[in-house]
Structures are given as C-alpha cells and as structure tokens.
Amino acid sequence: MGTRLIVQVYAFTDRQTALAALEAGVDHIGFVAGQYGQVHGELSFERARLIAQSLGARGRSIALTMATDVEEILRMAHAVQPDFVHLSTDLDAVDPHALRRLRDEWQGEIGLIKAIPVGGPESLELIEPFAEWSDYLLLDTKVEGLPGVGATGRTHDWSVSRLIAARYPGKVLLAGGLGPDNVAEAIRTVLPAGVDSNTSTNVQGDPVTKDLGRIRAFVQAARRTAGELDR
C-alpha cells in the first residue's frame, strides 16, 4: 500500500480511554463535538476540547459534527481546536460551497473530512464536488431514518468503495460496520488510505462505551493486513 494505513476509531467520551487507544496504535481519535440531540456520545465543546488537548503530538483529534450551519461549525472548531472536523451530515445539508468557506477560514490549520454515503456506482459522481475541498473522504453507510451518514454498524458495497479509492488515492477512509473480524477483508478489497470503526469497537450492547480489547484487535488486524500488502 506504500504509506502507513490510518486507523481511526470513534466515538470516545473520555480522555483515559482515548489515551489507551493511542497506546494500542490508533492514529485518529474521534469524538462527537456538540450536543445537538442527534447521535450517541455527544460531548460538550469543553469535554471535546479536553480529549483533543490530551493527545498532544501522538495522535490526531477528529471532531465529528452534526451541525449544518457554517457559523456553528466554525464556532465548534474554534472552541474544540481539533486537528480535523468530520462533517457527518447528509450531502445536501452542507454543500461544497460551505466546505470551501470552511477551508478558507481554517487556512490549513484544521483539516476537513466529509462523510460520503456509498450506494451504487452513482456515488462516484456524487463525490466529485466534495472531493476538491476535503482532506479525506470517509466512505460510510447511509440508513434511511437515521440522522446523517454513518454510525449504523452496517457495511456497504466495497466494490464501489474500491472504485472511489482508486479515483482518489490517499484520500479515502473506509467506514461502515468495520471491526476486528472484517477489517482485513475490507482493506484487501478497497485498498483505502485508512479504516474507521465505531459501533464494532464498542462494548456489546452499549452505544457509547469503547471496548479496548476490540480496539486492540481491530488495530492488529488492520496493521497485519497492511503489512502483508506492502510485502
């Protein structure tokens, strides 16, 4: 694969678990910044910033937001000071013009990750307007009736994700139902720049508590597979 595979895990709610995940080999520590009453694990800006600050240079902090107003997204980023902001809302909720404004405001100090719902081959055309303004495209699963894109625990069509990863090399983070048991197959199929896990690295039946054993197994499986592909 050439470059080091990024391992990203959501959604941490305390510093201690986030730091333990760093020790286990997680690169990107994700958390939900902002209490909008839409998804599990939402944190106040103050608690989110504590997690971001605790990482230091050892890992990257990823603040997921369900906000759709650009001013609110900017307010969150200013308060939390993450390394990246992950826009997990539907595509039409924050359009490419809004992404461009965010990039202009942050001037490279904060990166931008855009969640992309993967369906059929038409997904490639949906992505194009967003790709120019995004540091990473997070390919995830959309389930009707649930807010935004992702956090469903469900996989999508990896053959489509592979086409997207080939078109945008180095920019694709693969998400959607990934855990220790299927991340190896996902990496071999899609060849992404990174992999992301949320629900499958939680304590079973608990939507907010991370399972460090599962996180370690996820990291080990991902690193082992990436190493095999680099041989």
| pLDDT tens per residue across span 163-178 | 999 999 999 999 999 9
Q: Per-residue pLDDT for 27 more than 90?
A: yes
> What local confidence, expressed as pLDDT, does residue 101 receive?
97
> What local confidence, expressed as pLDDT, does residue 100 receive?
96
Beta carbons of 66 and 89 less than 8 angstroms apart: yes
Q: Per-residue pLDDT for 127 more than 70?
A: yes
No. of H helices and E strands in the chain? Answer: 8, 9
Structural domains of the chain, with CATH:
6-230 (3.20.20.70)
Give phi and psi for 225, each to the nearest 5. -65, -45
DSSP-assigned states of every residue in 127-146? HHHHHTT-SEEEEE---TTS
Which residues on neighbouring strands pair with residue 28, listed in sequence order? 8, 60
- CA dist list (Å): 156 to 31, 141, 217: 23, 6, 22
